[in-house]
Amino acid sequence: DTGVSQNPRHKITKRGQNVTFRCDPISEHNRLYWYRQTLGQGPEFLTYFQNEAQLEKSRLLSDRFSAERPKGSFSTLEIQRTEQGDSAMYLCASSLVVLEVYSYNEQFFGPGTRLTVL
């Protein structure tokens, strides 16, 4: 399977604990995105990387959230001191962008990590 993979698929944690999620993008894709989705809503952008560089962070990404993409391959999203409001589906997507001007940025999503904070 050459699609986007995410681990774990489900995570239950207690408030105040730290959690880390992993995303493995499609191998030839240079961009990787993190989104968050709550029930009845569309995905909301959190941050994205081009290769190993984090190029943009949403205002939704509080100081408790940090993302990395070492060596431009897989990415991790860490949430420190989790709160009940962090409960959501965390989605990762990847795309291949060669030249921004000519790219339509088709993003392919992974299955998501469902986080429940008790």
Partner 1 sequence: EDQVTQSPEALRLQEGESSSLNCSYTVSGLRGLFWYRQDPGKGPEFLFTLYSAGEEKEKERLKATLTKKESFLHITAPKPEDSATYLCAVQAPYGGSQGNLIFGKGTKLSVKP
Q: Are 74 and 22 in contact (CB under 8 A)?
A: yes
Between 56 and 83, name the residue whose CB sits nearer to partner 1: 56
* Residue numbers 54-93 binding partner 1 by CB under 8 A: 55-56, 58, 91, 93
Q: Quick one: which of 79, 110, 115, 117 contacts partner 1 (CB under 8 A)? A: 110
**CB-nearer residue toward partner 1: 10 or 15:** 10
User: Other CB atoms closer than 10 Å to residue 10's CB: what's the count?
Assistant: 10
Per the CB < 8 A criterion, the answer to whether 115 and 49 are in contact is no
Q: Is 25 in the site for partner 1 (CB under 8 A)?
A: no
d(CA 10, CA 50): 27
116 near partner 1 (CB under 8 A) = no
The residue whose two tokens read 């962070």 is 57
- Cβ 104 to partner 1 shortest distance, Å: 4
Query: Coil, strand or helix: which one is 46?
Result: strand
* Contact (Cβ atoms closer than 8 angstroms) between residue 116 and residue 89: no
Q: Contact positions toward partner 1, by CB under 8 A?
A: 4, 6, 31, 33, 35, 40-45, 47-48, 55-56, 58, 91, 93, 100, 104-112, 114
